[in-house]
Structure 1
Amino acid sequence: MSLHVTIVHACRRAGRGGSPTAVVDETLLTAADRRTVPVAAGTSHAVFTSVEEHGPGRPAASLRFFTAAGELPACGHGTVAALAVLAERAQAREYEAVLRAGSRTFLGRATGGDNRYEAVFDPGPVRLRTPAAAESEPVLAALGMDPAEASAGCRIASVGRPRMLVQVADRHALADLAPSMPRLRAACDRLGLLGCYVYSTPSPDGRAAARMFAPSIGVPEDIANANSTACLAAHLAGHGLSALDVDMGDSLGQPSTIATIATRTRPGPAGPLIRVGGTASIATGISLI
């Protein structure tokens, strides 16, 4: 069976880099077959899309995300990539859709044209907690960090799946990280974590850098991770920072930037309402046999 795949560079920075993502129309493939798509396409993730109408003038789309290791309930840069493709196909410079992924229904928006779009979406409520020492210590040790010095900057953040946020002093400390992937995978598997998102202390104007290590899902280091950035935005919103731009991908030669805004507080314990997104460029279409 021939499969058409659209390659999108999601969360680009100043017209460069971004995370290559495979966008595919929903088709009759087994889960095992879907896992082969990102590998064959040369991307870390693939998103399968299915579009239907949802009320007058507003489409709805279902999204499913896969890496080589299996299906994910959510993928931020995959959502950005899918929104760009859906907007391009609709020939709409302002496109809004109801999106369904995992067990969630939420809004996504893309603006632009000529294969270049600014996409933004609601990643859902973020739940934050401080990890116990028994949780943070093995992750920090796998990162090559001193748990006694770094544990105070750790949080467990959940949006879809939990991941650990770890703060380092600056971009130099971030760039110098050389984690042990086998140890990090073992620690994350034992704790049920998606991975570990390490970020530099933000500047007063809300600029930071980050690296996302997720060997448990077959992605040793992610070029761009929008959902983890949304988790960080929710954490920092509690400290008065409402807008955040995070640079990722530099260590992999793929400069990427993810932008977030915390607009208001959700009712109840779920914290602020976050909007997260980035720039997406539709690169090319390929056929997989």
Structure 2
Amino acid sequence: MVDACLRDGRGGSPTVVLQDTPARGAHPGASHTAYVTLGGDIADIRFFTSTGELPACGHGTVAALTWLADRLGRGGEFTLRISGRILRGWVDGSRAWFEQAPVRLRDPGDVSAVLAALGLGPAHPGVVAASTGRWRLLIPVTSASRVDPDLPALRSACDAAGLLGCFVYHPVAPGRYAARMFAPSIGVPEDIANVNSSSGLAAALGVPEISVDMGDRLGHPATILVRTTGGRLQAGGEARIRT
């Protein structure tokens, strides 16, 4: 078990990391499971929730990198293969970073049913669809903590719109945001830490660096870090191996 995207050394998203084990779905005790197979200089990683396999998982990648550094007894750079894509990751002390997949942004179209399930009006401004592998909505709100979704209705609306879920956010300080991610369509009513959505937010805002706080409502404070280095988006956070 790896706690990924800690905030000030505590909280984080519990993520199971298993080595050389047939991928059979999510493992009890965590919403996400990362299956790692070591072959030569490349680590193959697959991610699962209770509803099936994901093409990518940001906090799962942070957890897997932290596990790799512990398993191999070193930090530094690692080469990963996720959904056929080769990418680099780094571990420096307690922080893990990885090269984010290109972020795609588009107009969301008619998502009034999704917004209604979140308790928001159909003309809610500033909504953007973002994807690093699967589409989700990025939705600015005045207070993320006050959003109270109807989860069955949200799952139905997201399924109909082809969305993984909804990421609601608001600024709390320059370069820092508070957010919540609802993804009942993949068996995660609320995600403790969602790195890919945070990366989408950085791309949508067009800023070089942000931090995103999540998980407070779930009792697991988490912080995701996103930065642009050499024109490439990188995402990560602090993590530790629990067991």
The two structures have a TM-score, normalised by structure 1, of 0.81
Cα distance in 1 for partners of 2:21, 2:219 equals 33
- Alpha carbons 1:161, 1:193 under 8 Å: kept: yes
Structure 1 position 230 matched with structure 2 position 199: yes
Residue 236 of structure 1 and its aligned partner are, at CA, apart by: 1.1
Q: 2:193 is matched by which residue type in structure 1?
A: A
**Residues 236/264 of structure 1: CA separation in 2 closer, same or farther (3 Å cut):** farther
**Which residue of structure 2 lines up, in the alignment, with residue 68 of structure 1?**
50
Match for residue 77 of structure 2 among 75, 92, 96: 96
Larger relative helix fraction: 1
Cα distance in 2 for partners of 1:131, 1:9 equals 33
Equivalence map 1:264-283=2 (5 Å): 264-265=230-231, 273-283=232-242
Match for residue 23 of structure 1 among 9, 17, 20: 17
Match for residue 167 of structure 2 among 181, 197, 204: 197
Larger Rg: 1
- Alpha carbons 1:234, 1:262 under 8 Å: kept: no
Structure 1 position 118 matched with structure 2 position 95: yes
**Which residue of structure 2 lines up, in the alignment, with residue 161 of structure 1?**
134
Residue 138 of structure 1 and its aligned partner are, at CA, apart by: 1.2
Q: 1:21 is matched by which residue type in structure 2?
A: T
Structure 1 position 213 matched with structure 2 position 162: no
Cα distance in 2 for partners of 1:102, 1:158 equals 15
Structure 1 position 130 matched with structure 2 position 107: yes
**Which residue of structure 1 lines up, in the alignment, with residue 229 of structure 2?**
263
Cα distance in 2 for partners of 1:202, 1:157 equals 22
1:206-245 superposed Cα distances (whole Å, 9 cap, x missing partner) = 00011000000000000001111111111111xxx21100
Match for residue 184 of structure 1 among 136, 154, 162: 154
Cα distance in 2 for partners of 1:52, 1:109 equals 18
Q: 1:141 is matched by which residue type in structure 2?
A: A
Cα distance in 1 for partners of 2:84, 2:112 equals 32
RMSD (Å) for aligned C-alpha atoms: 1.2
- Alpha carbons 1:168, 1:201 under 8 Å: kept: no
Instruction: Give the SS at the match of 1:14.
Output: coil
Residue 202 of structure 1 and its aligned partner are, at CA, apart by: 5.6
Cα distance in 2 for partners of 1:26, 1:228 equals 29
**Which residue of structure 2 lines up, in the alignment, with residue 9 of structure 1?**
3
Residue 264 of structure 1 and its aligned partner are, at CA, apart by: 4.8
Structure 1 runs of 4+ aligned residues shifted over 3 Å read none
Equivalence map 1:18-57=2 (5 Å): 18-29=12-23, 34-35=24-25, 37-38=26-27, 40=28, 42-53=29-40
1:82-114 superposed Cα distances (whole Å, 9 cap, x missing partner) = 00010011111x3211111113111111122xx
The two structures have a TM-score, normalised by structure 2, of 0.96
What residue ranges of structure 1 are gaps of 5+ in the alignment?
1-6, 54-58, 266-272, 285-289
Match for residue 174 of structure 1 among 136, 144, 150: 144
Cα distance in 1 for partners of 2:131, 2:22 equals 31
What residue ranges of structure 2 are gaps of 5+ in the alignment?
none
**Which residue of structure 2 lines up, in the alignment, with residue 143 of structure 1?**
118
Instruction: Give the SS at the match of 1:228.
Output: helix
Cα distance in 2 for partners of 1:18, 1:176 equals 21
